[in-house]
Amino acid sequence: MNKPILIQNARVVDPASNADFSGAILIEKGVIADIAKGNAPGAPEQSEIIDAKGLVAAPGLIDMRVFTGEPGHEYRETIKSAGEAAAAGGVTTILVMPDTQPVIDDGALVEFIARNAEANTPITVLPSAAITKGTEGRELTEFGLLLEAGAACFAEGRKSIQSAAVMRAAMTYASNFDALIVHQPSEASLVSDGVMNAGPFATFRGLKGIPLEAETIPLDRDLQLALLTGARYHAAQISTARAAELAAFYKARSANISVGASINNLCLNENDIGSYRTYFKLSPPLRHEDDRQAMVEALRNGVIDVIHSDHDPQDTEGKRQPFADAATGAIGLETLLAAALRLVHSSDANLMTVLRAMTARPAEILGLESGRIAKGAPADICLFDMDYPWVVEEATIRSRSRNTTFENARMTGKVTTTIAKGKVAFREGHAR
């Protein structure tokens, strides 16, 4: 059995209980055994003592949108390498998307992910199962059997279900099991061959635009169907001001609706694409600055429940292409917290709000015991220095792929230690 760990002199921030105090946390047998304000309780013999003076101790982050390349594209990312990247970013739970090769649409594949994770990574990996077979948007998968096999929810990954009838069927059937549907609304016929946000900048660059209605029309559809069926529905990611308005309208009418946003859409805008920088080719696309600000406002007022990394490893070859031909997506596990802290340092959102969207809220939505610092809760904790300045360097990225939107970006705030399931999963090498 691993040694008890005592974290002392920490600033403990727990969004679930809205607590922010200086104190100590004792970890034993994989769970939080004790929490004390002020001075540390006596540590059991043989304890590892971590002096967290000047550090924040928060629940380990829960990232609700992570793509790995396993199975099928292991050269991009394995569950093991994703786990290392996650731990370095203070992330202790990842919800992995099902659109791998093969698609996770069968119980045996769900079990494969779970076994693989158990053997290869210290963090918690939650497999999502596809909503439709092969994520083809036509026939439902076996929700009941997949839940028995360990699926945490049903999602369609990068794909979006085009048929309203299929979506209604999915939500209706999911509500039998009180299962969660996670879905990125995107109208394929409006996205068409668009590659960035529609608007003057796309026109100037000669790139085809993706209009905001490609997001808001299917979002409206999904939200109406969520009301109709009573299903638990999580709009995986929204990116526009109007989507936030729609979400607010429907959330006022159903407690079963929740909304996520990528850290990219909260921190970056379309101008970051600059001169055809393909690492910034994302889905949903980076939007206008007005939309970004609307996303931040929606985070502040609780319309956006969850911030995730949308971690999507793509190999260099896929990105070394003309913009329209390049692969879509960016990695983000290692930079999720640091990027989110930008919002805190810029006074756009307070620390509690930002952390809640990456801990307590995703835990509630997914029905997890973690995501909080409470006696008896799983010992998933991240320690970070709010003010530590650093630069994101490609050479130090742990992910197998390098496609970060924060290459050479200056960050303030860095994870120093990550504890997952009661064990140290990451410890920063730099001297403090």
Partner 1 sequence: MAGRQPEPSDTRTGTPGSFLPFRHRHLLGIAQLDPVEIVDLLDRAEAMIPISRQRKALPTLLGKTQINLFFENSTRTQASFEIAGKRLGATVMNMAVRTSSLAKGETLIDTAATLNAMQPDAIVVRHGSSGAVELLSQKVECAVINAGDGAHEHPTQALLDALTIRRHFGRLNGLTVAICGDIANSRVARSNLILLGAMQARTRVIAPKSLLPRGVEQMASEVFTDMREGLEGVDVVMMLRLQNERASGKLIPSVREFYRFYGLDAEKLSHANKDALVMHPGPMNRGVEIDPAIADGPQSVITEQVEMGVAVRMAVLDALLGGETRDE
Q: Which is nearer to partner 1, 323 or 384 (CB)?
A: 323
Which of 71, 172, 276, 402 forms a contact with partner 1 (CB under 8 A)?
276
Give, in degrees to the nearest 5, the angle at Cα 111 between 129 and 119. 125
DSSP per residue, 314-382: --HHHHSS-GGGSPP-BB-TTTHHHHHHHHHHTTSS-HHHHHHTTTHHHHHHHT-S-SS--TTSB--EE
How many residues bind partner 1 (CB under 8 A)? The answer is 24
Compute the least distance from the CB of residue 400 to partner 1, in Å. 18
Bridge partner residues of 13 (DSSP): 20
Residues in Cβ contact with 431 at an 8 Å cutoff, skipping those fewer than 6 apart: none
Q: What pairing do the DSSP bridges indicate for beta strands 19-28 and 5-14?
A: antiparallel
Q: Which is nearer to partner 1, 44 or 322 (CB)?
A: 322
Q: Which is nearer to partner 1, 51 or 325 (CB)?
A: 325
Residue at 11: amino acid letter: R
Compute the least distance from the CB of residue 211 to partner 1, in Å. 8
Residues numbered 85-114 forming contacts with partner 1, rule: CB under 8 A: none
Q: Is 48 helix (H, G, I), strand (E, B) or coil?
A: strand
Give 397's DSSP letter.
-
Q: Which is nearer to partner 1, 205 or 398 (CB)?
A: 205
Give 132's DSSP letter.
B
**283 backbone dihedrals φ, ψ, rounded to 5°:** -135, 120
Compute the least distance from the CB of residue 269 to partner 1, in Å. 15
Structure tokens at 415: 């994870």
326 binds partner 1 (CB under 8 A): yes
Contacts with partner 1, 335-374, as mask; x by CB under 8 A: ----------------------------------------
Identify the CA nearest to 370 among candidates 358, 360, 382, 357: 360
Candidate list 105, 106, 220, 310, residue with the active-site label? 310
Compute the least distance from the CB of residue 171 to partner 1, in Å. 33
Q: Is 96 helix (H, G, I), strand (E, B) or coil?
A: strand
Q: Which is nearer to partner 1, 315 or 428 (CB)?
A: 315
Compute the least distance from the CB of residue 195 to partner 1, in Å. 9
Q: Is 276 helix (H, G, I), strand (E, B) or coil?
A: coil
Compute the least distance from the CB of residue 204 to partner 1, in Å. 7
301 binds partner 1 (CB under 8 A): no
Give 63's DSSP letter.
E
Q: Which is nearer to partner 1, 320 or 345 (CB)?
A: 320
Q: Exposure pattern of 242-256 as b/e (b: 16+ CB <10 Å)?
A: bbbebbeebbeeeeb
Contacts with partner 1, 184-213, as mask; x by CB under 8 A: --------------xxxxxxxxxxxx-x--
Residues numbered 369-428 forming contacts with partner 1, rule: CB under 8 A: none
Number of CB atoms found within 10 A of residue 429's CB: 7
Contacts with partner 1, 305-324, as mask; x by CB under 8 A: ------------xx-xxxxx
325 included as an active-site residue: no
Catalytically annotated residues: 310
What is the contact surface with partner 1 in residues (CB under 8 A)? 198-209, 211, 275-276, 317-318, 320-326
